[in-house]
Amino acid sequence: MSPSLQSYLTAKRTVDDRALNRRVLGRCSDELAGIDEPARVVEFGFGVGTMIERLAEWGRLPERTSYRAIDRDPENVAVARERIPDRLEATDYRIVDEPDTGWENPREGARADTAGRRASGRSIDLTLEVADALSTEAIADRDTASEGDSRADAVIAAAFLDIVDLERALSTIATILEPGGLLYAPITFDGATGFAPPHPLDARIERLYHRHMDDIRDSGGSTAGRKLLSSLPENGFETLAAGGSDWIVRPRSADEGREYPAAERTFLEAILETIDEALVAYPGDVLDPADRRTWVSTRRRQLEESELSFVGHHVDVLARLENG
Ligand SMILES: C[S@@+](CC[C@H](N)C(=O)[O-])C[C@H]1O[C@@H](n2cnc3c(N)ncnc32)[C@H](O)[C@@H]1O
């Protein structure tokens, strides 16, 4: 059975943890630390919430942060509501549990805990929303009475700008950011998908998989990372830092049992499924179905036997919206 989107996003956490460019992340947290608190952060396409967990666990958020997390997939939001309270337990936080935020588990004691921990000064006020992050109306249309206005000091868009209309996303982000606000866009795909050991069909499969991102999928593109670098100045942003953040997944050594770390076998199953689904879109005169089946079944067997390694190239970018 193929992994669900939520299992994939959960399994991706440790792969991203290794991949994230520490220089770009370090500059991002330095810039966030300079913002008047509470820093207002909005995350677009937050999936099951792994970025906020990571930033809290790694101490990369300002002492007081208001964090607005937006995803259009209600199932992602449901999983995030389940996992985030426990994951953030070790950090100092408060979940905003108004009725319409839908926390199933507002956890009696969360506020008491926070009150105690606030003696140490750290807090995250978190709201989760099911919405289209690219709709300016949806982004601006919120109850401002308790939350302040909908402007942000920083927008985070992780593994997001490569699957949406990049220009539209940058324009929406520029709309909600304060002048001088930050855009942190890590894990933006940039044109390389590779496997080891090599297979004679690799080059064709990679080319068609990327062509699917560019020409067949509704939005996004296979070279979004480098396009982002050129689109930022055109949309009023100055790039503060950029660096590579490659996904590299491989089985542990024979001494360590040749298993994949954490849930990364599930991550690779999902990657192979995504590629297979993309390749099915091609007619037989572009890709012989027998070639597709041969390549995919070989890669699945190698995964089953813990012989498969994978590399995916991404770019992490930190940019600042120029003042007016
Ligand atoms: C590749 S996933 C990345 C999720 C998360 N940022 C991470 O790195 O694990 C992209 C996410 O963007 C969400 N998404 C795609 N288009 C969206 C939109 N227009 N508005 C809000 N969320 C969107 C998807 O539901 C999905 O959760």
Structure confidence by residue, pLDDT tens digits, 266-289 = 999 999 999 999 999 999 999 999
Share of the chain above pLDDT 90, in %: 79
Q: Which residue has tokens 């940039």?
A: 190
Could you give the CA distance from residue 106 to residue 66 in angstroms, rounded to a whole number? 17
Instruction: Report the pLDDT value the prediction gives residue 133, as an integer from 0 to 100.
Output: 97
Counting Cβ atoms within 10 Å, is residue 164 exposed (0-12), middle (13-18) or buried (19+)? Answer: buried
Residue 43 CA: which ligand 1 atom is closest?
6
Q: Which long-range contacts (CB under 8 A, 24 or more apart) does 269-276 make?
A: 269/2, 269/3, 269/300, 269/303, 270/2, 270/3, 270/7, 270/8, 270/11, 271/310, 271/312, 272/296, 272/299, 272/300, 272/303, 273/2, 273/3, 275/193, 275/205, 275/209
Identify the H or E element spanning 266: helix 264-279
The stretch 151-165 carries a mean pLDDT of 98
The model's confidence at residue 256, banded by pLDDT at 50, 70 and 90, is confident
CA of 304 to the centre of ligand 1 (A): 28
Decide if pLDDT at 233 tops 70: yes
Confidence label for 61 from pLDDT (cuts 50, 70 and 90): very high
- 164 in contact with ligand 1, CB cutoff 6 A: yes
Higher per-residue confidence, 112 vs 185: 185
Which structure tokens are listed for 324? 């007016």
User: For residue 259, which of 310, 296, 297, 307 has the smallest C-alpha distance?
Assistant: 307
| 222 in Cβ contact with 189 (< 8 Å) | yes
Highest mean pLDDT among 120-129, 131-140, 142-151, 300-309: 300-309
> Residue 283 contacts by C-beta under 8 Å, 6 or more apart in sequence?
none
Which residue has its alpha carbon closest to ligand 1 atom 1?
159
Q: Which of 73, 130, 247, 314 to mutate to test the pocket of ligand 1 (most atoms within 8 A of CB)?
A: 73
Token pair for residue 224?
């979004």
For residue range 204-215, what is the model confidence (pLDDT) as tens digits?
A: 999 999 999 999
64-73, 137-146, 234-243, range with the lowest pLDDT? 137-146
Q: Which of 152, 184, 247 is nearest to 25 (CA)?
A: 184
Does residue 297 surpass a pLDDT of 50? yes
Q: Counting Cβ atoms within 10 Å, is residue 78 exposed (0-12), middle (13-18) or buried (19+)?
A: middle
Please choose from 25, 160, 217 the residue to mutate so as to test ligand 1's pocket, defined by most ligand atoms within 8 A of CB.
Answer: 160
Domain ranges for the chain: 5-193+219-246+313-321
**Residue predicted with more confidence, 122 or 53:** 53
pLDDT at 205: 98
CB 140 within 8 A of CB 129: no
Q: Which residue among 4, 7, 71 is best mutated to probe the pocket of ligand 1, counting the most ligand atoms within 8 A of its Cβ?
A: 71
Question: For ligand 1, what atom is nearest to the CA of residue 133?
Answer: 20
Give the whole-angstrom CA distance, residue 322 versus residue 317.
Answer: 15
The torsion angle over the Cα atoms of residues 233, 238, 240 and 243, rounded to 10 degrees, is -10
Phi and psi at residue 32, in whole multiples of 5°?
-60, -35
Span 132-154, mean pLDDT? Answer: 75
Residue 123 pLDDT: 85
Atom 19, ligand 1: residue with shortest CA distance? 132
Give the dihedral of Cα atoms 62, 68, 72, 76; nearest 10 deg. 60
- The per-residue pLDDT for 119 is 43
Distance 286 CA to ligand 1 centre (A): 30
CATH 3.90.1150.10 fits 5-193+219-246+313-321, yes or no: no
| Average confidence (pLDDT) over 130-155 | 78
Q: How many residues does the chain have?
A: 324
Q: How far apart are CA 240 and CA 199, in angstroms?
A: 39
- State the residue for tokens 């606000």: 181
Whether 70 lines ligand 1, by a CB cut-off of 6 Å, is yes
Return the higher-pLDDT residue of 323 and 203: 203
Indicate the range of 103-117, 124-138, 250-264 predicted with least confidence: 103-117
Residue 172 has pLDDT above 80, yes or no: yes
- CB 300 less than 6 A from any atom of ligand 1: no
